[in-house]
Amino acid sequence: MEKLNLNPNLYSADDFYSELLAIHESRSKEESDTINARLILILANHIGDHDVLKQALQLASETTS
């Protein structure tokens, strides 16, 4: 089973983070929700591996960690 990579893997983390915020800039809550949903679907398809996605879903839903 492919393991979800939880080690740092972003080449330039700060750039990505600011780009992530930039696509939400001056958007309404509704627009932002839509963008986030699209982003999740696009990334999930890119990952493809069902085992990896299940681990990601599990981790994301553990809201306390």
Interface residue list for another protein (CB under 8 A): 33-34, 37-38, 40-42, 45
Considering the complex, what minimum distance in angstroms separates the CB of residue 26 from another protein?
19
Write down the number of H helices and E strands in the chain: 3, 0
Considering the complex, what minimum distance in angstroms separates the CB of residue 44 from another protein?
9
Considering the complex, what minimum distance in angstroms separates the CB of residue 20 from another protein?
17
**Cβ distance to another protein smaller for residue 37 or 59:** 37
Nearest to 40 by CA among 13, 20, 63: 20
What gap in Å lies between CA 32 and CA 37, rounded to an integer?
A: 9
